[in-house]
Structures are given as structure tokens and as C-alpha cells.
Structure 1
């Protein structure tokens, strides 16, 4: 530690040389040498200090594509778990097929447990601003996701014969772990991105979240299609998954596909953790430079960790939630109401609407598997999430920039999204027939635009919050990264509130 401190402060490496010296700790601005340096700078026609500071600010303000990519990866990992639970609905339904009451309500149960845990922990993390270490929160979230999906992958082979009630309990415990990871992610990643002072990094997270919806649905479709096709009724006999009979992976293609599906989530979390390390190190080095500079100016000394990786958590000025709500209330309401409409309708209807073309497996396996619910439902998720991704990518341009300066307009657009409810009711709900008998209508007129409006509105609201804080600080002439971080965490909290309210509303929608 002393050796590292010597490197950072420029002192010699020997123990004797590292002993405190009053001259070394004299305030820089009181030094005669500093006066001479200032005089030399004036003689050269410039101020070294201001020039260096401006260069540092300009370097920090510059957008790094490497950092942008890593923030996008964090966005992918952040919502990968959520979309895994949604897109794996056919597999979970097969595990609950012998209990219709569980099969009808397990999706709403997953949403409710997830959002309650997510909200409770996010509120706690938002309050813990002073000394918060957002890097540690992100890393812990990745580790929790790894554990949660390792258990899920293991359960596809190890817990085949347990009762549906027991599997539901196990699933909700796993959802609990994933929800903890999600809240750590929501709070840590948005606050960490806001600390860079670049709205582009917030947009990178939102884009990554859009990818997190596309990739799991695509992985689910591919894993089902590459697995052995389901047997026809004549081949199945009396056994079956969830009926208490014994089955192996050959009789359960959904189980084999789910194993590959959950394994991809484990790989994603591990890869993101490894790639996040360089960004964390670079951010920590900047913190050390700031801490060392402030220590020299304030005549204080700052401790660093022995391993040289994790810097001390800065002490931030706590910004009350009431202050943040007063400054960002329309934007907070816009992001919350956006996800209320999304969660109330999208997951519930997507798992209940089937293709208008009935699917029946044949002994020669010549039937079109795209109409199989195990493939068609993930396809519907893929269409919605593709629209969501396109919406998140379409936030540039003058029109969006002007709209972000009108928070009330964003809030009203969020309310207008509830008009999607009657459109879902026109589709083949529960396979009982559709008013508009067309899969293309369902996929490209209902799902795709509803997803696009979600991604576009959520991204603009989150970016508008970051830009609003920046403008307020420019007007006041005071730069406070702590308020930027607090604003990022507050908007993440409002997002989670929307998820929770939408999950409660989904119970009433599930009865339609």
C-alpha cells in the first residue's frame, strides 16, 4: 500500500523516504515554487492550471466507443434474466401442465415477485447514496445472475419428477435472486453511466436492454428448433412432462432446449463480468487522480486498497428523493407509465395468443414448426423486442432532442400506449379464434409497434433526465457528479415502480 501511495504521490519508494514530511504536505497554492510557475505561465500567455483542467474535462467528456460498447453489454446483461423468464414461458408451462391453476397464473406470479423484490431493494439502494460503490453493485449483480441461471440450467435435468407446487417454489426463489441482481443493475449501471456526464452512455444501456429482449427470444427459438421435434400423440403414449410420469431429454425437447437456453444466460453474465473489469479499472484510476489532487489541495491523505484495484468510495452529497421528483416529475411519470402499460399487457397476452394456424406434430415431422407454440410464442417475443430495440435506436435527431425538452409530452405519450389493449383482444387469444385472423396482423401491427413505442419512450425519458441535470448544472455553474448519479438511480427507481404496478395490473388482464 505504501509503495502504491508512493507511486501515486510521486514520493521515493524506500520506507525511510516515505516518512511524512511537512514540506511535502504543504498546500500547493502556498508554495513559492507554485507562484513562480504561475508567473512563468503568465509570461507564456496562458494559465497552465486552467489549460490542464480544460484538457482533463475535455478528455472526460469525450465519448469512448469502447466504454459505449461495455455499457451496451451491461444493458444486455441487465434485462437478459427478465426476458429469459418471459420467453421461457412454454418450458415453464410444460412443467405446470398438470396444475391448470398454476399454469394460468405462474407468469403473473413471476412478475409480481420480481417487481416487489426489485422495487424494495431499489428504494434501499437509492437511499444509500453516500459512499455508494456502483462498481461493486454491478459486479455483485453479475454474480447473482450467474448463480440464478446455473441453478435453472441444473433444474432442467435434476428436478424432473418433483410436484408442480415444489417447482413453482424453486422457480420463485430463483426469480428472487434474479430480481436482486436486476435492482443492483438498475441502480448501479444507470448511476455509473450518469457519473461520466455523457447521455450517450445512458442510451447505450437502453440499447443493450433492447438487445436483451431480441437475443433471448432468438436463442429460445433456435434451441427449440435444433432440439428433437416433439412426438406425435400416437408416439407419446401415456407419459408426459409435468404429469408425474418419468421422462428423459429425448421425450422432452423443451427441457433440452431450456438447458441450452439457460446456459447462454450463464455465459453472458460471465463474459460481461470479464469485459466490465477494464472499464471499472479506468474509472477507478480517474477517481484516484481526483482523490490525489483533492488530497494535495486540502492537505489530506487518502487511503487506497492494498490490491490497488478498488479505490475508496467517494463521499457524495445526498440528494433527497423529493428534490429529484420536483425536478424530474414528468420524466419520472413518463418512464413509470410506459412500463405499467408494457408489463400489464405484453407478457400476459404474448404467452396466451397462439398462431391462427393450428399445429399438430406428425410422425414424419413434416408439419411447419413455426406454428408450434414453443416456437411461435418466442417469435412473438422476438417481434416485440425487435420493435423495442428499433425504438431505442431511434432517439437521435432534432425532433427527439426537442421532444426531450417537453417532459409533459412524453408523459402523455406514455398514457396513449394503453390503447394497445383492444388490439390484443382482436388476436387468437387462448387459441379460441381471432377477430382478425392473421398472424401478420398480430406480429407486425400489434407486437412490433407496441414494442417500438416502449423502447422509444423509455430511452427518451431516461436521456432527458440526464440532459436536464446537465443543463441545470450549466446554468448554476456548479458541476456535481453526485447529483447526476442520484438522478440516474432515481429514474431507475421510477422504472421499477412502473414494472411493479404493471405486474399487479397483469393479474386482472390475465383473466381476459
Structure 2
């Protein structure tokens, strides 16, 4: 089998044509269409869906857990005001740096090992967070902030490992369905942590302060972080099962370590594509995706500060900060998921109109001042309506992010030559992460609002 895999790798770069319908065979005589049909597995699809969920779970978990972190920093006004922006900055900068390093280490990469390492790291991070809700509760706000930044950076490293490994590994299967499963899992990862946070808070009786205002219980935070540990552990078990399948080992051949590759076979060399050439062809789409995600990074800072216009002392727990804040994140992520689905509907894509996408991305700046009309920090709202905040502002802002971002990432292939597509994909991904990083640092200005 190893010999067959090496032969396939030798011949693959020379094959620029599609297999003949009904007559294509592998060197071992097996028909290609039969092999591809048998290669697809619904079980494998769900494993990749789980990997997509685990990939972005940490990111959304830290955002949805804002009420608990607010309680840990309520003794330090400076940390209370800036911890959310610090989370975003450390997370995005860590992911950007890690992605750059991992990209430079592709030659000897073992992508399954990267995926496994990311899941183990996530399990450790979430377990430490869960323990921190039951122990060391008397540490200072500054000490807990240092601990939080450490686990945020560790989670960003795990995310980078998972992103880098999963998309390379799934490419070896040659199945678009599996890639779609990963993207669907990422969308689900935006919604589930918010729901888990809300359920964990509502399942535990509220804790009262001396002033009588309800707070999020450490027990509910423990349940929430433990849920994340369970998700990562289940994903790890599922991925190990996927690796144990004999057919998965066959599909893995393009991502094997160097010692498993025939020493006499020279790897395929790819022509280097200058970034300036890609920028010249993709400047509208690159600018649109950069601006889209840079502007998006303002929403977490505002969302963790905006409270319900109802009196928390008399309203139901749904409108109290411990639930209302993750509810705001939930509505934004539902909008984002809707926005990601819309481009899949024929006639509703804008991939052929990059200038319009750039214009729409710039137009998203209008959402930022609208947040100032809401009940920031309980100081009162110009528009005193929770419906306006949740269903209009959050949902529409989320839809615009998912829709513009998806169109940009789907449409770049239409504007480059076939041999430039792989490099263009890396270039667009770099623009996306750069936008997240720039927006996370700019969000410090929103934190002082």
C-alpha cells in the first residue's frame, strides 16, 4: 500500500486532466469513481463538523463568559474596562503570529499531530478555567488577569494549530462535503457557547451581593467551562477514531511525515506568487475582508457592556446581565450564521462585484455609533428597546459580517489565474486575520466609551 501511495504521489503532479468518466482506474485497477463514492462517509462528515465546532469554541467561549470575568475584575476599574479588548488583542495577535510560524513550517508538518495537539491543549485550558472558578477565588484581580491572558494566548495557539491542521488534512480526502462540514461547525461554534452560558446561568440560583443585585455564580461558570472541556474531549475521541480507520490512512498520504515519504521522490515545487501581484488583482476583495473583520471586532466590546433597558431588580433573569450579555452574543452569532448561509443561495452572491463588497464593508462603520444609542453600562439608552438592540442591531451586524466575509472568501478564485489560487487563498486568509488583529487593538477606543 505504501508503494502504491508513493506511485500516486509521483504521477499526481503530471495529471492536469480530469479522470475519464466511467473508465478511470488507479494503478491497482480500482475504478476511481467507485473509490470516491465509497470514500465518503457520513460518520467522517460529523467528525469534521465536530472539528469545526472545536476550532472556534474557545474564541466564542471567552466572549460569552464576559459576565463572569466582569465579576472577577469588579475590584479594579481599569481591568474591568479593558479586559475584553485585552482578550481580543492577545487572542488575535497570538493566532496571527502562530499562523505565520506554522505556515513557514509546512515542509515537515504532520497535520494530524497538530490537530491532536490543539485538542489536548484546549482540554487543558478549559480544565484550568473550570478549576479557577472553584479555587484561588481570593487572588487579586491583577493576578487573575495575568492568568486569563495566559490561557487566552494558549487557546489562540490551539486555534491556530487546529485551523492549520484541519484544512490541510481535509484537503487530502478530496471531498467538498467535509470542508462544508467544517464551515458549518464553525458557524455552530458561534451559537452553542452562548446557549451553554445562558443555560448554565439559569440552571443555578442567582448569587446576591450586599446591595441585592444578582451576580453570576461561580458554579454556573464552572459548568460552562466544563462543557467546553467535554466538547474538546469528545472531538479528540472522534478524531482518533477517524485516524484509526484504514481508509483514512490511505487518504492521509499527502500529509505524512518526511520519514514516511520515498527519499528518492522530490516534492513538488510551486512557483512563488508575489504578494503585490495578488494585491493588484484582489485589492477590492482583500480590502473588503480586512475592513469587515476589523469593524466586527468592535461588537464584543460593546456587547459585554450593554445591559437591558429593564430594571434588573424587578425583571426576570433573562434580562439580568449574567444572561442578557451572552444573549446579545447569541443574537449576533445567529445573524452571522444566517449571513454565511445566504451566499449559498443562487442569485444572492456578490462574488462578481468586488467594488460593491468593498463599499458594503465600509458602510458597516455605521453600526458602531448605533451602539452608543443603547444602554451602555446601565447609563440609559437613547433608543430604549431591547428588541431594537437584539433583533435589529445585533442580528443585522452579524448578517453583514457573515455575508460580506463569505462572499470575499468564496469569490477571490474568480479574479486570479488557476496557478495563483492556492497562494491567493493564503493571501486572503492573511488579510482576514490581519483585520481581526487590527480591529482588536482599535477596540480599546470603544472600551472607554
1:340 corresponds to 2:305: no
Name 2:307's counterpart in structure 1: 354
The verdict on how the C-alpha distance between 1:422 and 1:269 changes in structure 2, with shifts beyond 3 A counting, is same
- Give the conservation status (yes or no) of the 8 Å contact 2:88–2:440: yes
* Alignment gaps of 5+ in structure 1: 1-6, 11-24, 30-44, 237-250, 293-301, 306-312, 362-366
CA distance in 2, matches of 1:70, 1:314: 33
- Give the conservation status (yes or no) of the 8 Å contact 1:190–1:492: no
Name 2:361's counterpart in structure 1: 414
The verdict on how the C-alpha distance between 1:285 and 1:330 changes in structure 2, with shifts beyond 3 A counting, is farther
1:493 corresponds to 2:440: no
Structure 1 residue 504, shift from structure 2 partner? 0.8
Query: Structure 1 residues 439-448 or 200-209, which shifts more?
Result: 200-209
CA distance in 1, matches of 2:346, 2:28: 33
CA distance in 2, matches of 1:314, 1:66: 35
CA distance in 1, matches of 2:174, 2:355: 24
Name 1:210's counterpart in structure 2: 187
- Give the conservation status (yes or no) of the 8 Å contact 1:221–1:379: yes
Name 2:316's counterpart in structure 1: 368
Name 1:59's counterpart in structure 2: 36
- Give the conservation status (yes or no) of the 8 Å contact 2:216–2:322: no
Name 1:511's counterpart in structure 2: 448
Name 2:237's counterpart in structure 1: 274
Name 1:284's counterpart in structure 2: 249
Q: How many pairs align?
A: 427
Which secondary structure state, in structure 2, belongs to the residue aligned with residue 103 of structure 1?
helix
Structure 1 residue 259, shift from structure 2 partner? 0.4
The verdict on how the C-alpha distance between 1:314 and 1:183 changes in structure 2, with shifts beyond 3 A counting, is farther
Structure 1 residue 64, shift from structure 2 partner? 5.3
Name 2:18's counterpart in structure 1: none
- Give the conservation status (yes or no) of the 8 Å contact 2:339–2:401: yes
Counting only pairs closer than 5 Å after superposition, residues 74-153 of structure 1 correspond to structure 2 as 74-153=51-130
TM-score (norm 2): 0.84
CA distance in 2, matches of 1:424, 1:47: 59
CA distance in 1, matches of 2:447, 2:289: 23
The verdict on how the C-alpha distance between 1:124 and 1:409 changes in structure 2, with shifts beyond 3 A counting, is farther
Larger Rg: 1
CA distance in 2, matches of 1:62, 1:414: 40
- Give the conservation status (yes or no) of the 8 Å contact 1:224–1:374: yes
Structure 1 residue 198, shift from structure 2 partner? 5.2
CA distance in 2, matches of 1:459, 1:58: 31
- Give the conservation status (yes or no) of the 8 Å contact 1:126–1:493: no
Name 1:453's counterpart in structure 2: 400
Structure 1 residue 392, shift from structure 2 partner? 1.8
- Give the conservation status (yes or no) of the 8 Å contact 1:194–1:488: no
- Give the conservation status (yes or no) of the 8 Å contact 2:335–2:395: yes
Structure 1 residue 489, shift from structure 2 partner? 4.6
Q: 1:432 aligns with which of 365, 379, 388?
A: 379
Counting only pairs closer than 5 Å after superposition, residues 462-501 of structure 1 correspond to structure 2 as 462-465=409-412, 468=414, 472-473=417-418, 484=422, 488-501=425-438
TM-score (norm 1): 0.74
- Give the conservation status (yes or no) of the 8 Å contact 1:210–1:455: no
The verdict on how the C-alpha distance between 1:490 and 1:134 changes in structure 2, with shifts beyond 3 A counting, is farther
Structure 1 residue 196, shift from structure 2 partner? 4.6
Which secondary structure state, in structure 2, belongs to the residue aligned with residue 395 of structure 1?
helix
CA distance in 2, matches of 1:189, 1:489: 15
Instruction: Tell me the C-alpha RMSD between the 2 structures.
Output: 3.5
* Alignment gaps of 5+ in structure 2: 12-21
- Give the conservation status (yes or no) of the 8 Å contact 2:24–2:31: no
- Give the conservation status (yes or no) of the 8 Å contact 1:132–1:314: no
- Give the conservation status (yes or no) of the 8 Å contact 2:351–2:408: yes
1:317 corresponds to 2:245: no
Name 2:158's counterpart in structure 1: 181
- Give the conservation status (yes or no) of the 8 Å contact 1:187–1:489: no
- Give the conservation status (yes or no) of the 8 Å contact 1:80–1:265: yes
Structure 1 residue 511, shift from structure 2 partner? 1.7
Q: 1:265 aligns with which of 210, 228, 250?
A: 228
Structure 1 residue 179, shift from structure 2 partner? 0.9
CA distance in 2, matches of 1:496, 1:436: 34
- Give the conservation status (yes or no) of the 8 Å contact 1:321–1:490: no
CA distance in 2, matches of 1:178, 1:422: 31
Structure 1 residue 143, shift from structure 2 partner? 1.3
Q: 1:502 aligns with which of 425, 428, 439?
A: 439
Structure 1 residue 147, shift from structure 2 partner? 0.9
**1:322-346: CA deviation from partner (whole Å, max 9, x where unpaired):** 2665665544433322211111x21
CA distance in 2, matches of 1:435, 1:357: 14
Structure 1 residue 258, shift from structure 2 partner? 0.6
The verdict on how the C-alpha distance between 1:355 and 1:291 changes in structure 2, with shifts beyond 3 A counting, is closer
Structure 1 residue 167, shift from structure 2 partner? 0.5
The verdict on how the C-alpha distance between 1:314 and 1:413 changes in structure 2, with shifts beyond 3 A counting, is farther
